[in-house]
A and B are shown apart, each in its own frame.
Chain A
Amino acid sequence: MTKLLDVENIDVGYGNHTVVFDAALHLTKGAIGVLLGPSGCGKTTLLRAIAGFEPVQSGRILLAGDEVSRPGWTLPPEKRQVGMVFQDFALFPHLTVADNIAFGIRRWPSDKRAARVQELLQLVGLPQYGKNYPHALSGGQQQRVALARALAPKPRLLLLDEPFSSMDVELRESLAREVRTILKHEGITGLMVTHDQFEAFAIADRIAVMHGGRILQWDTAYNLYHQPADRQVADFIGQGVLLQGMVVGETMVETPLGPIAGKVPEGCRKGCPVDVLIRPDDLMLDPASALQAEVVDKAFRGAVFLYTLRLPSGATVLCQAPSHHDHAIGERVGLRPDFDHLAVFPRRE
């Protein structure tokens, strides 16, 4: 597969102030990536560097094999064939929906242009709204128009800067899924910025978790969840707790839940103190289990309960159980570990 976007170890910043350090990632044609992280982690700056709005201080960016950014030279955004969807949509208020969508394809012959506009209006589910002005649309509809406008010139790469952040929380995931379907339909490579992991899971083939201007891990959602590269990723993605443990064999760690088999971090030998990531779905309630824990707190989540349990050692863990397992706070329950993977980190001093 050819690399459509190749970001090679770039630093990005303003003046003497560097915001993104040594960022590297690549997307194959048609893939969808996400830059995920808390606000201020540099994800939007990285996206703007890829769009051509910010110069790079070191490293380089390639689009379909052509260099578009290197220190001292930046191909301007209007020459990159990169589409972008903005957090505030940025629809042109003086143009109708159809004219907004046609803005990037002004040079097309008019019949082809009109056909493309109709096609996109269909695609985003607003076929009868072409003559409306943006202010007459709801937020969700404006969002779709912004997407259609960015897609119209068939960009090589579509960048999305927190496109759902002004939407209702309930809508975000389904919108993300919808956008994924549209991008896959159009065969367009995408890169989205968000701080919402469920949005990221819904849309992405690959996710870059960012923190403090660095990409901590560039991986699939599944791997981010189950095999986080370090404790910051583990902390940011999903829920869970870190239990103190000790390496007792080449593939064995002793924990308050008993000995668990799994891969041990490099450089950790027998006797090495470690932290083991326990996800709520790594534990099951089992009345027959010898391992007993006390219910400290519980949260009803519809299909499941999320229990906070205190182990005999005093450590607390989270456990997700089907909601017919209804236990009172203070009750003692049996607990059984059920690991597919083991995420173990060297103990920080």
Chain B
Amino acid sequence: MTPAAATFPALKVLSRPDPWRGGVVLAALLLALPVLVVFSFVFAPAGEVWLHLKQTVLQEYITNSLVLLLGVGVGVLAIGIPAAWMVSLCEFPGRRLFEWGLLLPMAMPAYIIAYTYTGMLDFAGPVQTQLRDWFGWGYGDYWFPDVRSLPGAVTMLSLVQYPYVYLLSRAAFLEQSICVLEVSRTLGTGPWAGFARVALPLARPAIITGLSLALMETLADYGTVQYFGLATFTTGIFRTWFGLGDPAAAAQLSAVLMSFVFVLILLERWSRRRARFHHTSTRYSHLPRYQLRGWRRIGAIVGCSIPVLFGFLLPALQLGAWAVDTVDAWLKADFFHLVANSLMLAAITAVLAVALALLMAYGRRLRSSRPVDLAVRVASMGYAVPGTVIAVGVILPFAWLDNTLDAFMRAQFDISTGLILSGTLVALVFAYCVRFLAVSLNTVEAGLGKIKPSMDDAARCLGLAPRRVLREVHMPIMRGSLLTALLLVFVDVLKELPATLILRPFNFNTLAVRTFELASDERLADSASAALAIVLAGIVPVILLSRTIGRSRPGHDQTVC
């Protein structure tokens, strides 16, 4: 090879901008902006408010957040792992029902379950009223646990976040080669010992992944802790910004919160990497389940019922009852307006997030290289970043841009442009894209990965440029994945609370915001219809999920044409 030939490819990259590589990197930089902005405040000089926070509440934020993490961690493991083990490796009546039923609490946003239980269990609620009726107690005669407390928050969050652990450990149990389990049985381990000594260690990376996802959600939670009056990072960021009026200190708090998140991201990445080395054998066959009899069978049924009952059925019924009670009120009120707002936001974001995911996934397929891969990974980090932090990271640069533009236009043309970005839906939709790109990207990448590279080659030999290959070959083939991605983002946007609270334009309400506002005003029954709408929408991805995991076991499916 001549030296000239060796330098040519490098020249080509420099001289001709590549739209795919450029597009991916540019989009990734844009999506990483909020996190980068928040982190830039780590190096900002500590202001008066920050010093004040440090002296007074920072300690409490950290303690509360750690206790919350620890409690929810124990809670989701205690519910998720046994449930996953029972439905995937044992046989008992109702097992198939529990298989997807155990996913239902995913449809229940934490803030909704929190105030539903508050309404059910407070002094005037149905439970205490019934108890007083039965035992003839009066006010002050008895002790009843207060839901609005740290243990209450731990319980609420555990009830709706255990499905992460359940889902991933169930998948891990199903993927375990039956050979390994059978070998362990021929070596004299019974079902319980087999679980403890073989299945559990093999599934550990998956369980840790699920745990870290649940803990990320716990850190991101704003609605529950705010409603329960607990001082954590997310509520602190709100208070610092809107109460003390100091965005810089809020960003600094966000940066501290992000350091917690990064520990979880590292934990997740580390466990996912380890998971690859844990499959020694690739032979799968139908899993012979342990037949449960007698008290074990009853134990399994009761054990699987509790999380479904308390995590979904009871609160959903309560919401339904309240919604029926207040039917006239919400039919008259702005309910349909709220629905329209929510649907519009969700639809716009879903389309945008899927389009971005297609750009990223296809760009990576065409131009896999270290910068492109890194860009895609950075862009999909948003799922771990709490909505509050993203909101802070969005509004700071957007407001600066708006003010700069406004000042410039005033000075030059005597026109005030006002807030083009930060005060409008643009900021909100952008924040949603940052937060939920990973959701669409995962689905789109999985769909694209199933299309063999020879399809691309064949289409190009038949005269199609890469962009048209995407449109005429890939998109029709992966229609199902695209639809799933749209739906998942759509529902996540419907449920999102903290970023919406901060970034929504003045007087613009969504279902989630209205639910939270009404609940905060102790008008629980009035908020039930909006909450119920969110919960019902949340069931859609649960159904999708249960269908995919049912088919995901190697050896059971796969006729990808």
**Interface residues in chain A, defined as those with a beta carbon under 8 Å from any beta carbon in chain B:** 11, 18, 51, 53, 55, 57-58, 71-73, 76-80, 82-84, 86-88, 90, 92-94, 103-104, 134-135, 149-150, 153, 155, 159
Contacts and interface: CB of A to CB of B under 8 A. Distances in A.
Contacts of A73: 8, 12
B561 A87 contact: no
Contacts of B452: 88, 90
Contacts of B97: none
Name the prevailing secondary structure of the A interface residues.
mixed
Given A51-B457, A71-B5, A76 B462 contact: no
A58 B450 CA distance: 34
A7 B6 CA distance: 19
Given A58-B5, A92-B477, A72 B457 contact: no
B130 to A, nearest CB: 58
Given A88-B454, A90-B452, A82 B561 contact: no
A120 B528 CA distance: 64
A43 B561 CA distance: 27
B5 A90 contact: no
A90 B474 CA distance: 12
B463 interface: yes
B469 to A, nearest CB: 9
Interface string B445-479: 00000001011011111111100000001001101
Report which residue of B9, B455, B460, B476 has the largest number of chain A beta carbons within 10 angstroms of its beta carbon: B460
Name the prevailing secondary structure of the B interface residues.
helix
10 contacts: A71-B2, A78-B461, A80-B461, A86-B457, A90-B458, A92-B458, A92-B459, A103-B459, A150-B461, A153-B463
Contacts of B4: 71
Interface string B1-23: 11011101101100000000000
A77 B461 CA distance: 6
Interface size of B as a range: 20 to 34
Given A57-B5, A86-B458, A159-B461, 4 more contacts: A78-B462, A79-B463, A84-B458, A149-B458
A150 B479 CA distance: 25
A63 to B, nearest CB: 13
Nearest to B468: A78
A72 B12 contact: yes
A51 B6 CA distance: 22
Nearest to B456: A90
B457 A84 contact: yes
A72 B8 contact: yes
Given A92-B473, A94-B476, A76 B465 contact: yes
A99 B561 CA distance: 16
Contacts of A94: 476-477, 479
Report which residue of B2, B4, B454, B559 has the largest number of chain A beta carbons within 10 angstroms of its beta carbon: B454
A273 to B, nearest CB: 37
A58 B9 contact: no
A135 B561 contact: yes
B506 to A, nearest CB: 46
Contacts of B6: 57
B454 to A, nearest CB: 4
A104 B473 CA distance: 12
B561 A90 contact: no
Contacts of B477: 92-94
A167 to B, nearest CB: 17
Contact of B460 (A77, A93, A135, A149): A77
Nearest to A79: B463
Contacts of B479: 94
Given A58-B2, A78-B461, A93-B477, A72 B561 contact: no
B462 A153 contact: yes
Contacts of B476: 94
A84 B561 CA distance: 19
A77 B8 contact: no
